[in-house]
Amino acid sequence: MTITRKLLPPLALVGALALVPVTTSSLAAADVANYEELETFMSVYERVKANYVDPVDDHTLIKGAIDGMLAALDPHSSYVEASDFQTLRTTTDGNYGGLGLTVSTEDGAVKVISPTEDTPAWRAGIKAGDFITHINSELLYGLSLDDAVEKLRGPPGSGIKLTIVRPGREKPFDVTLVRERIVLRPVKWEIKDGIGVININTFAANTGDATKAALVAIDKATGGRPLGYVVDLRSNPGGLLDQAIEVSDAFLSHGEIVSQRGREKNDIERYYARPGDLAHGLPMILLIDAGSASAAEIVAGALQDHRRAIVMGERSFGKGSVQTVVQTGPQSALRLTTARYFTPSGKSVQAGGIDPDIVVPQLTDPDYKDRPRVREADLRRHLISQAKADDKLLEHDEKADPRFAATAAELEKKGVKDFQLEYAVKTLKRLGPASIASAGSRPKTR
């Protein structure tokens, strides 16, 4: 997401233009069609304003028209005002009051995309693919996404009861949570068996610096001799484009990281890595799942295409579009999809996602087989990819594999809390630095 400050002409001016007498002889064919569409809009506007059962003000009608216009485009374009504008700003800064959920709407229902780690929703066990049907026993249906998010958020310390419908379970169940001030710690790190594990859970304003600090801290903690790195991007909903570039740059010493391409053929921006790999070329495994989206997919695609890391886990979310936030007034902003992004090999992940090099299911999740994954391709009016994808490949996340036959209960008895992470650490130890480094020397696909 890129942020631009730019004032747009007020919509009142657009409405006024529709009332100016214009002769069709002075207009091109396209202009005539545009004028006719504006005339239709103004006709409906005036009829609603004059005859609707209750009085309705101009602002409500214009705001509704804008919302409807943007809803007809894609799931990520929107217009926000007042409190919603402040919410947009605080969310990108990583500091807001709420539950720690990324949600979408589907046919009027609120669906969970992913919970954020170490937040009330994550600790309560809410999972991607869950439907939130009620808040405090009040039906939550038919609301806009912004209205649904507004109901989920609230003052820190306030309680909330959610009714959850989880595919694969027969009955809905209630979850009681307490809202918190969500101050996202974008990066956490630890050492497991000599391997540095870096968990990046969002791409907020300071994620790049925090990732670099984690690499320095791991170096210091291991005496400059870590065996390798696991970078965990699971359930990371994305965030700021410049932070995805900074994180990728921390592990790459050269080459393209990502390109973003707009409407016109020559509207292309490319971003490149600077010299210096802060991970010193050590072997890496990068973990993704169906909740890894947007900026997380930029990092995964860059490191995968450059053979810098083995990507492991499940196919990612598939949000390959860039939203530009344009401030339209002191307390309002337009969030508009303006480009698609492409990995260094020229692949668009829009609606298709990043395929892992090694598919590893999360066996410690007892519902992983029955719970459907929610991805960009499942959202209504999602942006179409510019590359064709095989639908059969998109419909199946895992194939039967004897290595993954253990049940969640069996793993719990062995003390395994996170199978994917354990598998990644063991893979690094089993293959050894030399084996994984040789994988990094393979020629890149262009």
What pLDDT shows up at residue 84? 57
Measured CA to CA, the distance from residue 397 to residue 372 in angstroms comes to 10
Active-site residue (options: 78, 235, 294, 385)? 294
- Specify the length of the chain in residues: 446
Taken in order 280, 309, 296, 237, the sign of the CA dihedral is: negative
Give dist(CA 50, CA 230) in Å, integer: 62
- pLDDT at position 270: 97
Whether 236 and 202 have beta carbons less than 8 Å apart is answered as yes
319 is catalytic: yes
To 10 degrees, the CA torsion angle through 189, 96, 233, 163?
Answer: 120
Residue with tokens 């009027």: 108
Other C-beta atoms lying within 10 Å of the C-beta of residue 365? 16
Contacts with 188 (C-beta within 8 Å, 6 or more apart), sequence order: 198, 199, 201, 214
Residue tagged active-site, from 319, 348, 378, 385: 319
At residue 95, the pLDDT reads 55
Q: Which domains does the chain have, with CATH numbers?
A: 97-182 (2.30.42.10), 185-439 (3.90.226.10)
What is the pLDDT at residue 88?
Answer: 52
Choose, from 130, 232, 305, 378, the residue flagged as catalytic: 305
Report the alpha-carbon distance of residue 198 to residue 279 in Å, rounded. 12
147 tagged catalytic: no
| 205/291 Cα distance (integer angstroms) | 20
Residue 309, Cβ density class (10 Å: 0-12 exposed, 13-18 middle, ≥19 buried): buried
Q: What is the pLDDT of residue 387?
A: 54
pLDDT of 10 reads: 35
Residue pLDDT tens, the chain, 446 long: 433 333 333 333 333 333 444 454 555 666 777 888 899 999 999 999 999 999 999 999 999 999 999 989 998 898 888 655 555 555 555 556 789 888 888 777 898 888 888 889 999 999 888 999 999 999 988 887 778 888 888 888 999 999 999 987 889 999 999 999 877 789 999 999 999 999 999 898 899 999 999 999 999 999 998 999 999 999 998 989 999 999 999 999 999 999 999 999 899 999 999 999 999 999 999 999 999 999 999 999 999 999 999 999 999 999 999 988 888 888 888 999 999 999 999 999 998 999 999 999 999 998 888 777 778 877 877 887 655 444 444 444 445 577 788 888 899 999 999 999 999 999 999 876 555 445 444 434 33
